[in-house]
Amino acid sequence: MHAFDYATPESVADAVVMLSDHGENACVLAGGTDLIVQLRENRRRTDLVVDVKKIAELNALSYNVATGLTIGAAVPCYRIYGDAEIAAAYPGLMDAAKLVGGTGIQGRASLGGNLCNASPAGDTIPPMIVLGGEAEIAGPAGTRNVAVEDFCTAPGRTVLADGEFLVSLRFPAPAPNSGAFYRRFIPRNEMDIAVVGVGASVVLSGDGSSFVSARIAIGAVAPTPLFVSEAGAALAGQPVSDESIQRAADIARDAARPISDMRGTAEYRKHLTSVLTRRVLQGAVQRAKE
Amino acid sequence: MSKKVHVQTNINGESVDFLCEPRNSLLEVLRDELDLTGAKEGCNNGNCGACNVIMDGRLVNSCCVLGVEADGCELTTIEGVGSAANLHPLQQKFLEHAALQCGICTPGFIVSAKALLDRNPNPSEDEVRYWLAGNLCRCTGYDKIVRAVLDARNGA
């Protein structure tokens, strides 16, 4: 690995100064499960690694039934699914947090890092999108909030400008009669990169017979994880039925713009998008009724 | 070359200070500086688990941790799990079940399984298999490893 300096700021303001001073020659370290490998393999170069784990806001993890969930950008997956209250309130997020790498990766890897790495196949991104996640970004001009669906701009690229970094992720409290689900397709049981991943959240009517609203996001089928707002919108006001769910699945399939690679052809991925969207919606409906 | 950094840790119950460059992984520090060669370098990219150590109570791949990040941390490596004269129950069961062949992955499996049993003394077979999904073995086909871990439950 090439040589670099290492800093551990203890406040957001100090981190902004360090990142601003070094511009594109600095990078942010949280769990390091992507960054350290990228540096070692010369896929990235940096003069300064800014370890943000000593900043209190980056380690925050709090849930309140009224105000929702705040996850500091450096909180590792194991802390998130290890919190029984949060796991019960956000099962759709747990689906993904539990399948990012193996146990040793989950001891370090964070949702914030998964988002900033901006892989089209990042497993936690579709569920964060469908749960209405917002990213709080700090930078030289102060803080700003960006919806998770607008955060990634291209493979490995995000809205973060030089000097900016992700502080936390915020999610609204789950609505009554709501449920969310994430599932990916991989040819193995564990430890693989999604061929396709789909997240869905639904809000049902009080009797569970119709959709009030829905959000669907798809992964590994476009240059970024994709929020398919029209697929969710097509469910609003519709009865919960095989037909309405299939229609949303078809819309998600048509929105997919996959490439063919070693994990699957574009045609295969489009087919999988439809199948997974249907199953994930069914799973979200089931959870909404529980 | 970047300036070396002074890092203070506790490894296997003993205070250990070391100097390292920021670019040195924790795995490199353990093996090359501290002569704790039980953790192995397999893939060096977080896939195989041969370098697993326990850091402040959680399992990590030491190849994906910088040595400087260990400052102020408590670490358990395979050297702290047991000794030849005093095997950990997991080590005893790995021997009884012949849960190893070449042995390169074994320290990672034992450390990983210990992290599981520390938290859940009575895991199901499914829980064992999912927990160990980040540990790769190219020899055994896993069944003997899983049986050894299951047999070490509670007795550990």
CATH code of residue A255? 3.30.390.50
Residues of CATH 3.10.20.30 domain(s) within chain B? 5-80
Residues in chain A: 290
- Judgement on whether residues A38 and A53 belong to the same structural domain of the protein: yes
Q: Residue A236 contacts by C-beta under 8 Å, 6 or more apart in sequence?
A: A211, A212, A213, A214
- Judgement on whether residues A16 and A155 belong to the same structural domain of the protein: yes
- Judgement on whether residues A111 and A184 belong to the same structural domain of the protein: no
Of all helices (H) and strands (E), which one includes residue A69?
Answer: strand A68-72
Residue A59 has pLDDT above 50, yes or no: yes
Among the candidates A174, A205, A222, a domain finishes at: A174
- Judgement on whether residues A135 and A274 belong to the same structural domain of the protein: no
Contacts of B24 in chain A (CB under 8 A): 1
d(CA B65, CA B118): 22
Alpha-helical runs (H) found in A54-200:
77-81, 84-89, 91-97, 103-106, 111-117, 125-130
pLDDT at position B1 is: 61
A88 CB-contact burial (10 Å; exposed 0-12 / middle 13-18 / buried 19+):
exposed
Q: Residue A26 contacts by C-beta under 8 Å, 6 or more apart in sequence?
A: A18, A19, A46, A47, A48, A49, A50
d(CA B78, CA B64): 17
Question: In this predicted model, what pLDDT tens digit does every residue of A260-289 receive, in sequence order?
Answer: 998 999 999 999 999 999 999 999 999 999
CATH code of residue A14? 3.30.465.10
pLDDT at position A189 is: 74
Question: In this predicted model, what pLDDT tens digit does every residue of A155-210 receive, in sequence order?
Answer: 999 999 999 999 999 999 999 999 999 999 988 777 788 999 999 999 999 999 99
| Residues B128 and B116: beta-carbon distance below 8 Å | yes
pLDDT at position A187 is: 85
For domain B5-80, the CATH superfamily is Beta-grasp domain (3.10.20.30)
Tell me if chain A has a CB within 8 Å of the CB of B126: no
Q: Cβ separation of A36 and B115 shorter than 8 Å? A: no
What's the whole-number mean pLDDT along residues A57-64? Answer: 97
The model's pTM is 0.96
- Judgement on whether residues A105 and A157 belong to the same structural domain of the protein: yes
Q: Cβ separation of A103 and B66 shorter than 8 Å? A: no
Q: Cβ separation of B59 and A29 shorter than 8 Å? A: no
Among the candidates A174, A205, A220, a domain finishes at: A174
Q: What is the ipTM of this complex?
A: 0.93
Contacts of B66 in chain A (CB under 8 A): 6, 29, 32, 36, 49, 51
Chain A nearest CA to B151, separation (Å): 21
Domain that holds residue A282: 178-289
Residue of chain B whose Cα is closest to the Cα of A104: B60
Contacts of A189 in chain B (CB under 8 A): 133
d(CA A31, CA A34): 8
d(CA A166, CA A50): 12
- Judgement on whether residues A65 and A204 belong to the same structural domain of the protein: no
Residues of chain B with pLDDT below 50 are 156
Q: Cβ separation of A3 and B61 shorter than 8 Å? A: no
Q: Got the DSSP string for B73-99? A: -EEE-GGGT-BTTB--HHHHHHHHTT-
- Judgement on whether residues A218 and A84 belong to the same structural domain of the protein: no
- Judgement on whether residues A153 and A211 belong to the same structural domain of the protein: no
Question: In this predicted model, what pLDDT tens digit does every residue of A4-14 receive, in sequence order?
Answer: 999 999 999 99
Does the domain spanning B89-151 belong to CATH 3.40.30.10? no
* Mean pLDDT (chain A, rounded): 97
Helices B143-151 & B106-119, crossing angle to 10 degrees? 40
Tell me if chain B has a CB within 8 Å of the CB of A14: no
- Judgement on whether residues A169 and A63 belong to the same structural domain of the protein: yes
Residue of chain B whose Cα is closest to the Cα of A192: B47
Among the candidates A155, A174, A193, a domain finishes at: A174
Chain A nearest CA to B102, separation (Å): 22
Residue A223 has pLDDT above 70, yes or no: yes
Residues of CATH 1.10.150.120 domain(s) within chain B? 89-151
pLDDT at position B156 is: 45
- Judgement on whether residues A252 and A186 belong to the same structural domain of the protein: yes
Residue of chain B whose Cα is closest to the Cα of A99: B130
The count of structural domains within chain A is 2
d(CA A167, CA A170): 10
What's the whole-number mean pLDDT along residues A85-92? Answer: 97
- Judgement on whether residues A145 and A60 belong to the same structural domain of the protein: yes
- Judgement on whether residues A209 and A111 belong to the same structural domain of the protein: no
